[in-house]
A and B are shown apart, each in its own frame.
Chain A
């Protein structure tokens, strides 16, 4: 069972959910390159200009660990990274769990993504405003002093802090991506975990995904926000558990 975090956080966001599956599955947590405690110097903006590069990284981890029958659990942008990886090498995957997924964030004619292009520009601006306060360029200092872990402990928002330049680039790649064409190509069971009130991936997006993913199941969790695995971890675990026991014919 491979868990991949979404934009703006790292693998530690799974800590209320992942342990529940340790008894039955081999649980693998990873940080996407450019996030968490990954090697930030490996983040080449040219290579990571599309989500495909992250999908390749996920496949590389699966190969390295020799994983078969993978249950892929991806949050937010990583849900789509999972779809891309599974389309490329379906034989490795058993099923996908897509937590608060969205194939495209920006409205497009009849398609409702929830955002206009200008909204995304505003987000990038807000990230710049938080350059001094949010990630504050402190992370690179820690990355440069692996021998001084106490520096990390002093951080205000030590979880999910990231290099501002990388975060900005990753945000652009994430929010300008359009993976709608990749959906019908997925031929394996997929669970869509939709929050009832989610600004980032609204209900309309969840139902769109359900219509276009051939073997998908849609579960709407009664919670607000974009992180059901943090706000309602128990309901999240129950939904995944139910899907794995009934939805996956294996």
Chain B
């Protein structure tokens, strides 16, 4: 095995180590020149002279470096570069455009150093110039792209501003609507309560001779109760909304929470059977009141719209999705004809089982609360066999 130092150096042509300095100066792949402190040219290399198309005697002692630039560059040199050189004895990477003898131009990048004499007085300036024809093109493209990007960013900002304004408008309209609903329900409640009281009084004091009167009386009473129920529902929608704006998010243990709700529904009166399966997701981070309202409405619906032909069976379960938790409430009730009513399912006051008493408020509220929590509701249903609601909540 050979040691590294035993390896031969790559073969060098020894003539190259004797680089001719004069030739290097004259034919270097960049322009060299030397000037007096005021810019008067005293020496230029062959490369630079070839670029410019001048003979050396046309330039030395006759022209200044600045005069080789375009007028803009010349102004820039006098105002910026010359003072800078005197201040810090060197400048680097300044971009200028040379004007050749034939009038054509050549973009260059200039580095310069100021030499001083022993008294520290400026003596001469040494200058290197690099041909940057291609680089200048790239730079101009960059500048163009930048202008374009700035224009696009302005457009985006404008679009964003518009969206913010729209959003503010919608928020305002939404809150106006809430206020309207609240005021309307509040203003309706009083006269309807008065009507109910008056009707009770009338029932007690008046005697009707018409045999149909008794039936009409009870229908009237039912209608009154329905109006009161609707008004209460409306008030609840608005109140929920107002409460939610203040309520904080909790970790809710689902089993005891759901059992409480079920108890409040008196399931024994319906002879209903409940199955709870929270093994997949036993607890949730959520505002307690809105979760309560969602489950309460879905569970009470499951009982309310139970099929008259069979004992109600309700199953509540959770499942873990990709970035969300799914709560499902499944019943074996009357079912909904989704093909006919699907699009109206969550609308306020929409009812699909007129034979059952209800206000058309429950699903509207559920949907609204789920959306506020950033989730969505899906429904599967078959008439006469049951309905399943899936609530998708982001976690």
- Chain A positions near chain B (C-beta within 8 angstroms): 6-9, 12-13, 15, 76, 115, 119, 121-134, 156-160, 197-200, 223-227, 230-231
Contacts and interface: CB of A to CB of B under 8 A. Distances in A.
Contacts of A13: 83, 87
Nearest to B74: A199
Contacts of B78: 198-200, 225-226
Interface stretch (B93-101, B187-195, B278-286, B313-321): B93-101
B71 A119 contact: yes
Interface stretch (B136-144, B205-213, B365-373): B136-144
Interface string B33-77: 000011100000000000000000000000000100011111110
Given A9-B83, A157-B88, A159-B87, A123 B139 contact: no
A156 B93 contact: yes
B53 to A, nearest CB: 21
B84 interface: yes
The 7 closest A-B pairs by CB, nearest first: A126-B72, A122-B72, A224-B38, A230-B86, A8-B79, A8-B80, A123-B72
Given A156-B91, A200-B79, A227-B86, 12 more contacts: A13-B83, A13-B87, A119-B72, A130-B76, A133-B94, A159-B88, A160-B83, A200-B78, A226-B78, A226-B79, A226-B83, A231-B122
Residue among B66, B71, B107 having the largest count of chain A Cβ atoms under 10 Å:
B71
A129 B139 contact: yes
A13 B139 CA distance: 30
Contact of A127 (B66, B76, B122): B76
Residue among A15, A76, A159 having the largest count of chain B Cβ atoms under 10 Å:
A159
Contacts of A198: 78
A234 B269 CA distance: 110
B139 to A, nearest CB: 5
Contact of B95 (A129, A200, A227, A230): A129
Contacts of B72: 119, 121-127
Count class of interface residues, chain B:
20 to 34
B88 A131 contact: no
Nearest to B86: A230
Contacts, number: 109
Contacts of A131: 143
A194 B95 CA distance: 29
A176 to B, nearest CB: 14
B379 interface: no
B92 interface: yes
Nearest to B36: A224
B75 A123 contact: yes
15 contacts: A8-B79, A12-B87, A126-B73, A126-B97, A127-B72, A127-B76, A129-B136, A133-B95, A134-B94, A156-B91, A156-B93, A199-B74, A199-B78, A226-B79, A227-B86
A6 B338 CA distance: 79
A10 to B, nearest CB: 10
B82 interface: yes
B79 A230 contact: no
A9 B88 CA distance: 13
B109 A134 contact: no
B76 A158 contact: no
Contacts of A12: 87
B83 A130 contact: no
Interface residue SS majority, chain A? mixed
A128 B122 CA distance: 30
Contacts of B70: 122, 126
Nearest to B140: A129
A134 B71 contact: no
Contacts of A7: 79
Nearest to A224: B38
A70 B86 CA distance: 28
Contacts of B79: 6-9, 76, 200, 226
A130 B82 contact: no
Nearest to B40: A224
Contact of A225 (B82, B93, B136): B82
Contacts of B86: 227, 230-231
B143 A227 contact: no
A15 B109 CA distance: 28
Nearest to B37: A231
B38 A197 contact: yes
Contacts of B38: 197, 223-225, 231
Contacts of A160: 80, 83-84, 87
B95 A130 contact: yes
Residue among A13, A126, A131, A199 having the largest count of chain B Cβ atoms under 10 Å:
A126
A200 B83 CA distance: 13
A218 to B, nearest CB: 21
Contacts of A197: 38
A156 B89 CA distance: 12
B39 to A, nearest CB: 7
A119 B75 contact: yes
A126 B96 contact: yes
Contacts of B139: 129, 132
A128 B88 CA distance: 23
A6 B82 CA distance: 13
Given A119-B72, A125-B72, A157-B91, A230 B83 contact: yes
B75 A159 contact: no
A127 B96 CA distance: 9
Nearest to A5: B83
